[in-house]
Amino acid sequence: MKEFQLIEHYFRNKGQKRRDVELSIGDDCALVNPAENKSIAISCDTLVENVHFLADIPAHALGYKALAVNLSDLAAMGAEPAWFTLAITLPSVEAQWLERFSDGLFEIAEYYGIALIGGDTTRGPRSITITINGQVIKGSALTRGGANNGDWIYVTGTLGDSALGLDILRGAKIVNTEDKEYLINRHYYPTPRVLAGQALRNLATSAIDLSDGLVSDIQHVLKASKVGAIIDVSQIPLSSSIKVNLSREEALSYALTGGEDYELLFTVPESQRGAIDTALIHAGVKFVKIGQICAGDKLKLVDDGEPFVPVSRGFEHF
C-alpha cells in the first residue's frame, strides 16, 4: 500500500466533522476558520517507540494515548479542542495494526469533538507526532505564570497510577490480579481533563498538566510565576489500587515523581475557592487541595510537618 492509499483508507473522511474546517485532508494545506474573539492554542508532541511507549503497546491504546496527551495540553490552557494533524512514521504497512490504531485515535477524537485535518506518513522507526489546535476566548487562557503568594494548590484525579502501570508492563512490579488491569489502563488510556480546564478559566490563577511528575511539573509553575510552594504529601490523592499494592512511602514516590498521569495541577486564590468547588463538581471531576503557594522560589515537601524527600522518578527527555 502506497502513502496516499494508506491515508485515504485509514485516516481521510474519518472522525469528527466540523463546520469551521473549510478544507481538510487531500490538499497542500488545510483551511480552518477560527471563531471571532478567540485565540488559537497550539501544542505539538512526539511519541517515539521505546522512548515514550513500549514496542508491544496495543495499537488501539497508542492511537488513543497519542491524541490524549495532546488534549491534556489544551486542558491545561482551558482551551476547547478544534483540529489536529498527524505525522506517523512506520517501519512497514501492517493493515491490522493501522486499523486498530486509527480506531483508538478516532474514538477519543470523536469524544472531544476534534477533527483530523492533515499530516504526513513516512517509513522509518515507529513514531507519532501530533500538532493540536484549540480555541479559547481571548484573555481567558490559563498559563503557568499567574500563581500568587497565598494561592491554594489543587490536583485533579489520583496520581501515580500510570507510572505503576508502566512498571507492571515492564515486569518491574507485581500487583494483585484485581488491580492489574486498572493500573495498566491508566497508563494506556489517560483521561485529559478538558472540561475541568474550561471550568477553571477566570477562576484559577495558573495551571499545568502533570506529564513528567508532580515534583518536576510544579517547578515550571514556580519558575514562571516567580514563587515558591509547600506541598503536604499526606494530602496527595492515591487510588485504592496503588494503596493496597505499595507501601505508603513507595506510593507517594510514584505519585510525586512517576509521570504520565495527565491530571491537572492548578492554583486558586482564597476568594475563588467556593467557585472552584462548584465549577469542578459540575464538570464531574474529583480534585484535592494539596498545598499552598508561598514567597521565595523553592518547593518544600512536608509530611505531618516534617520534611519529606521522595525517590526521584521524574521523566526527562535527554
Give binding residues as ranges. Answer: 28, 43, 45, 52, 73, 119-120, 144, 209, 211-212, 260, 315
Q: Which letter, b or e, does each residue of 182-195 get, where b requires 16 or more Cβ atoms within 10 Å of its Cβ?
A: ebbebbbbbbbbbb
- Centre a 10 Å sphere on the Cβ of residue 60 and count the other Cβ atoms it contains: 19
Secondary structure, 3-state, 239-298: CHHHHHHCCHHHHHHHHHHCCCCCCEEEEECHHHHHHHHHHHHHCCCCEEEEEEEECCCC
Which residue from 42, 72, 83, 202 is spatially nearest to 137, judged by alpha carbons? 202
Task: State the DSSP H helix or E strand holding residue 122, giving kind and residue range, or none if neither.
Answer: strand 115-123
All three cell numbers of 239, joined, read 487510588
Beta-ladder partners of 265: 155, 208
Q: Which residues line the annotated binding site for Mg(2+)?
A: 28, 43, 45, 73, 120, 209, 212
Report phi then psi at 7, rounded to 5. -60, -45
Strand order in the sheet with 287-294: 206-209, 264-268, 152-156, 287-294, 228-232, 299-303, 306-307
Q: Which residues are registered as beta bridge partners of 87?
A: 120, 129
Take residue 121 and report the three cell numbers written for it: 506518513
Tally of CB atoms within 10 A around 180: 18
Q: Which residues contact 189 (CB under 8 A, 6 or more apart)?
A: 61, 64, 65, 68
| Cell numbers that stand for 32 in this block | 480552518
Q: Are 137 and 37 in contact (CB under 8 A)?
A: yes
Residue 162, helix vs strand vs coil: helix
- Which residue ranges make up the annotated binding site for ATP? 119-120, 144, 211
